[in-house]
Amino acid sequence: MLAKPLTPLPAVVTGVIDEAPLVKTIYVALRDFPEPAPGQFNMVYARGLGEVPISVSDAFRRGDRLVIAHTVRSVGAVTKHLTTFIEVGSQVGIRGPYGRGWPLEGMEGMDVLIVGGGIGLAPLRPIIRYVEARRDSFGRLFILYGARTPHDLIYKHELGKYTEIPNSVVKVSIDKPYEGWTGYVGFVTDLIDRIDLDPSRTTAYVCGPEVMMKVAVRRLASRGLKADKMFLSLERRMRCGMGVCGTCQFGHYFVCKDGPVFSYDELMNYLWVDGI
């Protein structure tokens, strides 16, 4: 057990990127903080308001400090504060990293299929970084990403660069026609049927609204992917991040410590039960 498991580490904000309407990426620099694995999250604390679980969307070393990116959408009190009042130099608190991330070790040689919806691309981005850094160890890299409108796409500044990763296929969709948009129009899950998938050698990593992930699971299954080769990152009400507050329970799982990433195999009995 950590000496002070509920005490956040004060962190200085070093960068803020306006990603999309209501969405910002906040970079914080920390000393003596464990390196997060792809798919893990931190509890981000705004003093006087509270903590929110936010996926790590990027992490890199700068000198003796670890810089961690959290992509935040303004939906509640804390996230509104983070996206409105927090600027470079502001202080926030960080606890983490928490949870079980994406399984990547042991997946060498496999094709990597990423399916992201909206801000769901945030926890998936570290996979792209991971595969890019070990490009020869993995097979093809598919990145399927969709948002409601072109404005709602996050990481716009680097989406175009993903195609430069060798042996990669990048497809981006928006939900409804939009002036000037020449890409695919429809749900991101439609794109699953539009790629040359080899189910026997593909691992799928999915994150987005739960309804979108359910559709993705069905589509992937219809393409022949096995349940233990599909991974989903779930979202729940979370307060502690370490399996004691109980509010993130999903069936018998604590999403914070047993997840947030689960194989579909593990979720099969619960995912289709409303409000479990």
Partner 1 sequence: MIFMMYEGSVRDVGKLLSMLSSLLNLKVVGLKYVNKSFTYGELGSIEELPLSVEDVQAPSSYKLVEEGASARFRHSFPSLKYFLYPPAQEVLYIDKDFGLREAKVDYGNIALFGIKPCDLYSMRVLDGILMNRDPYYTSARSSVKVVVVEECVKPSNVCFCGSVGTGPGVSSGFDVAFARLSNGVVVFKSGSSIGADLLKRLNVKKAGDRTVAEYGEAMGEALKSTKVLPELNALTNALEKSINNVELWNKVSKKCVACSNCNMVCPTCFCTEFFDEAELDGSARRLKKWHGCLSYSYGLVAGGHFRPKLYMRYRHFILHKFLFYPRQVGLIGCVGCGRCITWCPLGVDIRETLWEVFKSVG
Interface residues with partner 1 (CB under 8 A)? 1, 4-8, 10, 47-51, 75-77, 79, 91, 93, 235-237, 239-240, 242-247, 249, 251-252, 254, 269, 272-276
Q: Which of residues 19 and 51 has its CB atom nearest to partner 1 in the complex?
A: 51
Q: Which of residues 81 and 140 has its CB atom nearest to partner 1 in the complex?
A: 81
Q: What gap in Å lies between CA 47 and CA 158, rounded to an integer?
A: 32
Q: Which of residues 174 and 256 has its CB atom nearest to partner 1 in the complex?
A: 256
**Strands 50-62, 41-46: pairing kind:** antiparallel
Q: Which of residues 22 and 227 has its CB atom nearest to partner 1 in the complex?
A: 22
Q: Which of residues 176 and 252 has its CB atom nearest to partner 1 in the complex?
A: 252
Tokens 């779930």 -> residue: 234
Q: At its nearest, how many Å lie between partner 1 and the CB of residue 116?
A: 18
Q: Which of residues 60 and 272 has its CB atom nearest to partner 1 in the complex?
A: 272
Q: At its nearest, how many Å lie between partner 1 and the CB of residue 214?
A: 14
Q: At its nearest, how many Å lie between partner 1 and the CB of residue 86?
A: 13
Q: Which of residues 129 and 257 has its CB atom nearest to partner 1 in the complex?
A: 257
Q: At its nearest, how many Å lie between partner 1 and the CB of residue 246?
A: 4
Q: At its nearest, how many Å lie between partner 1 and the CB of residue 28?
A: 13
Nearest to 263 by CA among 222, 220, 223: 220
Q: At its nearest, how many Å lie between partner 1 and the CB of residue 136?
A: 40
Q: At its nearest, how many Å lie between partner 1 and the CB of residue 207?
A: 16
Nearest to 232 by CA among 264, 256, 201: 264
